[in-house]
A and B are shown apart, each in its own frame.
Chain A
């Protein structure tokens, strides 16, 4: 129930005082309330839970963490050359 999935805002508009957007999740596009993320704009990624965006994904933080994790993964590969864990 507490699942929230990341999606990309394709369109955002005001609708009767409420802010709604079309958000893309992989191949699926759904209407999502953007009321709780006034700072999120078209092109941003948001975490969506039961039809409501609950956060704008912090792209800078995400990139930084991912790079760190990836470097760590590479390091492990170099340390264990015999292991067969091809990247997906």
Chain B
């Protein structure tokens, strides 16, 4: 077992798809929260294996896509300062701010460096004591413990040239916001397996109870997703609403306790703006006062400002599952991964990028 190829087995996948077809008698709308899951669905054409009427809509679980425009603008502003090294996850580079992106800033001479892990940002700060190193710390709960470790390590080492521009979002408040929205069509959720690996299942049980909506914690491989879909359809057809865990090989009920501890030590829950969606109460994380010296907003006195999204981009509706990327009039025409108008066209988890990469025929036809 290597826990990868086995879950891409075509024979098992087709078997599951046939079972889904066998148990589906009515139309249902399911949402996968995580953009990583969206990409698997598109890449393997899983949506095309499903019976007619069983619709998958794509959720807001793409951290790059929901990072506020203002945060991107702040990152660009910081990167252009000669005393700053800006460290970012690679996905953020081409995400459009209001008038530029980090890639263009880099071309203009900004010192923008890519990191695979937040510990690399700390390492860069350690070896460049005469420069200010700012880490663009974005992500969902999956990434929060790792980003928290960067602040924790910097504090332990007494680094004075390291700070973080934090944009952290939480999944359960976003599901809650979707469920109370009048335009909601979603009848069952595939919860994000790696977020739950860290956070456990408790918060999702609350959602199931409050909204009587079935939730299945799902993995990321084709077989995982098909099994999660099958579990959801079985519940819906039986009129049930339960929390189930498909991704048992990684997710336990209580989640990863040491990871939760470091997260709580460094961050606290705060109101958060989601790009394209707007403010959601208590849906984000910010650095605790004890780590205030590592808050780039404070170190550089960045202040608060608001900028408008480009009017043409319908990412707000895409991120809430209200529209498919191919329903956008500029999809694949004026908006492409090379020249994106909105963040979902950039990220390896963005729904628009997934459709563009694997479903170009949908626009051409």
Contact = CB atoms under 8 A, between A and B. Distances in A.
B258 A88 contact: no
A54 B142 contact: yes
A87 B268 CA distance: 48
A3 B38 CA distance: 12
Interface stretch (B11-19, B176-184, B206-214): B11-19
Interface in B180-220: 192, 194-195, 197-198, 220
Contact of B62 (A1, A57, A74, A75): A1
Interface string B92-122: 0000000000000000000000001111100
Give chain A's interface secondary structure class: mixed
Nearest to B259: A36
Contacts of B14: 73, 76, 83, 85
A55 B250 contact: yes
Contact of A49 (B35, B119, B194, B227): B194
A4 B116 contact: no
Contacts of B1: 45, 59, 62-63, 66
A36 B144 CA distance: 12
A1 B349 contact: yes
B18 A69 contact: no
A65 interface: yes
Contact of A50 (B4, B146, B347): B146
B-side interface size class: 35 or more
B249 A69 contact: no
A4 B262 CA distance: 19
Interface string A48-88: 01111011011101110110011011111100000101111
A75 to B, nearest CB: 7
Interface string B10-30: 111011101100000000000
Contacts of B223: 69
Contacts of B220: 3
B251 A55 contact: yes
Nearest to B251: A55
B18 A76 contact: yes
A70 B142 CA distance: 30
B11 A85 contact: yes
Contacts of A63: 1
Interface in A1-53: 1-6, 8, 33, 35-38, 45, 47, 49-52
B3 A69 contact: no
A2 B61 contact: yes
Of B9, B116, B252, most A-chain CB atoms within 10 Å? B9
Nearest to A69: B12
B70 to A, nearest CB: 19
Given A2-B36, A75-B15, A62 B3 contact: yes
A41 to B, nearest CB: 16
A73 B9 CA distance: 9
Interface string B69-103: 00000000000000000000101000000000000
B343 to A, nearest CB: 12
Contacts of A3: 36, 194, 220, 348
24 contacts: A1-B36, A1-B62, A1-B143, A2-B140, A3-B36, A4-B197, A45-B2, A47-B194, A47-B197, A49-B142, A49-B146, A50-B118, A50-B143, A51-B118, A52-B145, A54-B142, A55-B197, A59-B1, A66-B6, A72-B16, A73-B9, A76-B11, A87-B9, A88-B8
Given A35-B149, A36-B259, A88-B11, 12 more contacts: A2-B194, A33-B149, A36-B258, A36-B262, A37-B256, A54-B145, A54-B259, A70-B9, A73-B15, A74-B11, A76-B14, A87-B11
Of all A-B residue pairs in the complex, the 6 with the closest CB atoms, nearest first, are A51-B117, A76-B15, A62-B249, A73-B12, A6-B3, A36-B259
Interface of B: 1-12, 14-16, 18-19, 34-36, 61-64, 89, 91, 116-120, 138-140, 142-143, 145-146, 149, 192, 194-195, 197-198, 220, 223, 227, 248-252, 256, 258-259, 262, 347-349
